[in-house]
Amino acid sequence: MRQKVIANLGRLEQLQEGEIDNLLEHLSKFSKETWIKSRPENLKVEWTKQWGPALVFRCLWEELSIGPQLRTFWDSTEKTSPLEEAAFAMVLNRLCDPQPKLGVSEWINTVHRPEFKQLKQTHQVCVLEFITLLGGLFLFKNTIMA
């Protein structure tokens, strides 16, 4: 396959100040996306949300089979609420910015994960009750087997 030159911008050191901006402005007319002309000093960040940790740790969550295991447990119950997502939110909070149990419901507003929008504090309480129950069953099983 032969490469074809579609544009030559010239040498960088020969470009005059503002020439690249003019070129971008003219090229933006042919773009399918809308380009916003602005200078960094004119931009003001009003809020941000974390995104990376939720992506990384969700992959690990699935790779380590934590999600599938919890789904197996909760599918056997009559619960239809997003308990696995609540459990993930609580674990992610401990990894990123540990908060008291009740602080997690405020913290999830600082993370970009659309699935967190449906979560309520009652979901976290239900997860804690479920984990406490599982822990009790585990201890009971190990006591009987010993």
At 31, which amino acid appears? S
Average pLDDT in the 28-52 region? 80
Q: Both tokens of residue 46?
A: 């009003």
Average pLDDT in the 2-29 region? 75
Prediction pTM value:
0.64
Q: Is the pLDDT of residue 49 over 80?
A: yes
| Radius of gyration in angstroms for the set of CA atoms belonging to the chain, rounded to a whole number | 26
Mean of per-residue pLDDT scores for the chain: 83
Q: 33-42, 68-77, 107-116: lowest mean pLDDT where?
A: 33-42
Which residues are CB-neighbours of 23 under 8 A, at least 6 positions away? 9
**What would the DSSP string read from start to end of 51-78?**
-HHHHHHHHHHHHTTHHHHHHHHHHTSS
* Residue indicated by tokens 């994960």: 113
Range of 16-25, 51-60, 69-78 with top mean pLDDT: 51-60
Q: Is the pLDDT of residue 38 over 70?
A: no
Residue-level pLDDT at 141: 66
Average pLDDT in the 109-137 region? 88
Average pLDDT in the 102-110 region? 90
